[in-house]
Structures are given as structure tokens and as C-alpha cells.
Amino acid sequence: MSPSDRAGRYVMQPEGYRAFIPAALPPSPPVALSDATNHLLSQADIALGRLDGAIRTLPDAEQFTLMYVRKEAVLSSRIEGTRSSLDDVLRDEAGVPGRRPADVTEVRNYVAAMGHGLSLLESLPISVRLIREVHRVLLADVRGSERQPGEIRTTQNWIGFAGATLAQASFVPPPPHEVGPALAALERFIHDESPMPFLVRSALVHAQFETIHPFLDGNGRVGRLLLTLMLCDRGLLSKPVLYLSEYFAMNQLRYYDLLQAVHDEGAWEDWIAFYVRGIDEVAKRSAEAACGILELREGHRHLVTTEFGRRAVSGLVLLDHLFSEPILNVNRVGEITGLTYRAAADLVERFVSHDLLEEITGQSRNRQFRYSPYVGIFEGL
């Protein structure tokens, strides 16, 4: 096999276009990593371990995990052209009045798809069935919902500039009759027990999934979701707290160029080095965020305990809740703490006066408050 055929080959179709037919993984000849990439691989493994350890030190990791998932959802969806911010998503969840990008629902679907995938892992292995279920949730009632959510494509798709025809495509994935066999081979590789560093395996899986492009829409987002699901399924992460989409978004042209080089030149090693470097960089930033959360929480708990007098107990209840629901109103505070409206309003004002909460509507009625110091940790990443 020539190097150019290592990842697969272009095959002329009866309709007159060339489609790429991927070779089954693992690559042949086998991946040969440089010393530099092996060093990166070791660093990435250490960074993932530290990230998981940092998350496990948080007193209630479930509270904080949702913010990581929201962050990843915003970044992954932005690669596909959405304009929603993390603040848009939080405002939408809280029902804050005002205009927001219409595509905020796409980001919320990503969050739901991640949760659905993680729950399925309790009874299903990583599989085509699981991937289809994740895709179904991702595209429910949003842009692309008419493009067969949860169904493997039965027509040809292609990649190119906006409005590009099949003849103008920069890349044409395998024709429909090749998709099923390619996905079956990918599933076998995911569960193959032959020795291979797991991060190398996940790098190969991601590139192969994007090459197959098994859906009419949402392939990029599903492919990025799959990475996190694989890391959690393997136990390298106990929670989905790695937002690798940030790295892909910051290096978007390089990302696409390296995937294309895999197709054209069989350049698996260059792609793997890029991918592993991303794991290392983002895992370190994610761990720093976890440490920042812990420091913030302890500092604010001390402030509430020492400054809030008889409202300290209710204040601590509210503070702990803000890590999972960082935007709320006075009525919601009353529900959380069991306080009357007047007492809840008084508690909120104490939070505002100590710079723990910030009023974000600018109105005198129907006011909403944001735990900005916490949200800022993620907006600043």
C-alpha cells in the first residue's frame, strides 16, 4: 500500500464524482510516533489524570460539571456557525427576557445530547446505536431537524464552502452503500483489545468518524461529543469536563488541513501529534478552572459565614445552588432556601452588596441576578 492509500482511497462514482473510501483501522503500516509525540502523549496522560483528580476534589462535582458541558456545547456549536455565548445559554435557561440568538437551542441540545450519551453508557457500549441516539437528541427541533436525526444517511453528502455543489466539494465522504460497513469496522476498532495508547486510539476514531460523515448534518458536533464519551467510558475522566472544541476552534484551519492530509497522504502521525497536544493544553486549562472553582467556593463560603449573620445558613444554601444555576430571580431564591419573598429579597441584596450576585436586566421589576464571579471563570477560559 502506498502512503497515499494508507487511510483509504478516492474512487470515481458512476455519477462522475470521486468519493473517499476509508481503509479500516488501524492504519497499515502501523502508526510510528516520534519521540516528540510520545513525550506529548505522556504529558497529555498526566494532564488528564490531574484534571480528573482536580474534579474529584470538588465537594459536589455534579454541580460544576454542567458548566463545563455548557462551555463545550457553546464552543462546539460555534465551530458550526452558531453565535450563542455562554451567557446567552444561561439567560435562556433562566428565562431572562430579552433577545437572544435563535441558535441558542442548538447549544442546549448539545448539552442534552451529552447527558443522554452519558446515561446510555450505563447500559450500552460505545456503538453505532449509541451514536445514533446522541445524534437524534442533538438535532431535535433545531436547524437540521429535517435531515433525518438519528438516521444514517442514505444519500451522498459533501464538504465545501457555503453553497458548494458536489462538483465543487473539497471533500466527498464515502457513498451511502459504504457507510454501514465503514461504521461497523469503526465500532470493531473502538473495542479492539490490541495494545495501543488510548489517546492514539481516540485520535484515530475521531478522524475516521469525520471521514465517514455518516449523517446529513451534525457530524462535527457528534464527532466531538464522541471524544468526551470515549474518555468517560474508558475511565480517564470521571466527568465530562474537557472542552476540546476550544482547541479545534482556535486551530480550525490546521484541524481541517490535517484531516485532509490524512486522506490525501496517510499522514496519521501529524494528526495524532496535533490531537494529543490539544488534549494536553485543554486538560491543563480545565484543571486550572477546577482549582479556581474550589478557591472561589471556599472564599465565598467564608465571606457568607462571617458577614451574613442570621442569614448565613440560608446564604450557604443559596451559594451552593448557584454553582449549578448561576442565574436566578428572587422567587427562585425563595424556592431554594424556603424563605419568604421579603426574606429572599433581603438575602439577594446582601449577595449583591458583597459582589456575589449582579443584577443583569437593568430593570426595577422582574429582575434577574447572575453569579458573575463563577460564570467569569468559564467565560475567561
pLDDT tens for 200-236 read: 999 999 999 999 999 999 999 999 999 999 999 999 9
Could you give the residue range(s) of every CATH 1.10.10.10 domain in the chain? 308-379
Averaged pLDDT, 100-107: 82
- Is there a contact between 172 and 156 (Cβ–Cβ < 8 Å)? yes
Whether residue 381 is predicted with pLDDT greater than 60 in this model: the reply is no
For a pLDDT cut of 90, what percent of the chain falls above it? 82
| Secondary structure (DSSP) of 312-373 | HHHHHHHHHHHTT--EE-HHHHHHHH---HHHHHHHHHHHHHTTS-EE-S--SSS--EE-HH
pTM score above 0.85: yes
**How many C-beta atoms surround the C-beta of residue 249 within 10 A?**
15
Of 224, 237, 206, 217, the residue nearest 145 (C-alpha): 217
Rounded distance between C-alpha atoms, residue 178 and residue 212, angstroms: 9
- pLDDT tens profile 249-293: 999 999 999 999 999 999 999 999 999 999 999 999 999 999 999
Question: What pLDDT is stored for residue 164 in this prediction?
Answer: 85
Rounded distance between C-alpha atoms, residue 101 and residue 84, angstroms: 6
* 181-217 per-residue burial string, b: 16 or more CB within 10 A, e: under 16: ebbebbbebbeeeeebbebbbbbbbbbbbbbbbbbbb
pLDDT confidence of 145, banded at 50, 70, 90? low
Higher pLDDT pick, 338 / 62: 338
- pLDDT tens profile 312-347: 999 999 999 999 999 999 999 999 999 999 999 999
309: DSSP letter: G
pLDDT confidence of 99, banded at 50, 70, 90? low
Count of alpha carbons within 13 angstroms of residue 14, beta-carbon side? 0
At the topology level, CATH places domain 3-288 in Fic-like fold (1.10.3290)
Averaged pLDDT, 76-83: 86
Give every CB contact of residue 284 below 8 A, 6+ residues apart in sequence.
47, 50, 51
Could you give the residue range(s) of every CATH 1.10.3290.10 domain in the chain? 3-288
CATH dotted code for 308-379? 1.10.10.10
* Pick from 19-33, 36-50, 86-100: least confident: 86-100
Question: What pLDDT is stored for residue 58 in this prediction?
Answer: 85
